Amino acid sequence: MTLPLAVSVGDLNGIGIEIALRSHTLLCGRGISPLYLIDREMLEQAADRLGLTIPEDFSILSPDAAPFEIDPGRVSTEAGAYSFASFKTGVELTASGECAAIVTLPIHKKSWELAGIVYKGHTDALRDFFDREAIMMLGCPEMYVGLYTEHIPLRQVPAALEKERLSRFLIDFYRQSGAEEVAVLGLNPHAGDHGVLGDEESIIEQAIAQANQFIQNHPFTGPLVPDIAFTPAMRRRFRHYVALYHDQGLIPLKALHFEESINVSLNLPILRTSVDHGTAFDIAYRGAPLNLQSYLNAVEYAAVRNRPRG
């Protein structure tokens, strides 16, 4: 029997629940069984506001969270608490083997903060839940980017660059991502230009050498000059990149593949995938056209990796 996919509904003041409702029939037609972590009262309230009919086979499970009045496009303590409870329930169901994987719809980090949630996002929480160094990988089959650092201020990135930590990250990323070759970006303009524009590249070189020696087939190349790493010629060679900070990797990814890219948490005992966009408060519940592709791809990625072989 195929296990369901847990779907945490994200911030209910945003677009996540509309995406789930509009995608449901299509997913079921692909043989996928989502289990949405929302209670009936909140689901009916959202569907009524959207003018949508709840499909008869829309399976739900209530998280341990209090219902609240949806306030479209607003940051709120109640929405933050509910989205975290939905996510935590999905993680628990997946870890216990009751669900095959968890797919997360977008949360709002400020709402989590207002609700007293200590994590900056899903990946931070997963690291703590499992005491594992979760890796955030974003992308699509044409290009995947692993982030060495994620949601930290830019001024903190150089201090986070350590040979042993980066080498371990590279090895874990290679093993978990299915990459054949990995392009590792430099930190500074021109990758430091031999120390003229910064010397952090020496740390990156040492980490790459150590990781290549461990893997033996030498899959890692770099440090590459960041401003040419994503040219068409480079992308014909590489499908997997490691960026040293958030925007270094996500600006080119979203410029090229915003609508179809997804977020995958690697290096964990469970599989978690997510949309690669936010809550879109500016269009939530306003009848604006929504692009469903990132969510559909996130669900499909999780489903494919949990289908029986043979």
**Residues 26 and 100 both lie in one domain:** yes
**Residues 35 and 88 both lie in one domain:** yes
Q: What is the tens place of the pLDDT at every residue in 23-64?
A: 999 999 999 999 999 999 999 999 999 999 999 999 999 999
How many domains does the structure of the chain reveal?
2
Average pLDDT along the chain: 95
Print the SS3 string covering 191-243: HHCCECCECCHHHHHHHHHHHHHHHCCCCEEEEECHHHCCCHHHHHHCCEEEE
Q: Is 171 in contact with 268 (CB distance < 8 Å)? A: no
Domain range enclosing 186: 135-267
Strands 5-8 and 34-37, bridge-based pairing: parallel
**Residues 307 and 212 both lie in one domain:** no
Is pLDDT at 13 greater than 50 in this prediction?
Answer: yes
Neighbours of 182 (CB within 10 A): 24
**Residues 310 and 229 both lie in one domain:** no
Is pLDDT at 300 greater than 60 in this prediction?
Answer: yes
Check residue 2 and give its pLDDT: 81
The more confidently predicted of residues 35 and 306 is 35
Check residue 3 and give its pLDDT: 92
Check residue 309 and give its pLDDT: 46
Task: Pull the structure tokens for residue 123.
Answer: 């990946």
Q: What is the CATH number of the domain that holds 301?
A: 3.40.718.10
Res. 193 pLDDT band, cuts 50 70 90: confident
**Residues 65 and 143 both lie in one domain:** no
Q: How far is Cα 104 from Cα 91, in angstroms, rounded to an integer?
A: 10
Mean pLDDT of 155-160: 96
**Residues 173 and 287 both lie in one domain:** no
**Residues 276 and 261 both lie in one domain:** no
**Residues 262 and 290 both lie in one domain:** no
Q: What percent of the chain has pLDDT over 90?
A: 92
CA distances (Å), origin 66, targets 39, 102, 195, 272, 280: 9, 22, 56, 25, 23
Q: Residue type for 205, please?
A: E
Is pLDDT at 194 greater than 50 in this prediction?
Answer: yes
Is pLDDT at 147 greater than 50 in this prediction?
Answer: yes
**Residues 119 and 151 both lie in one domain:** no
Check residue 269 and give its pLDDT: 96
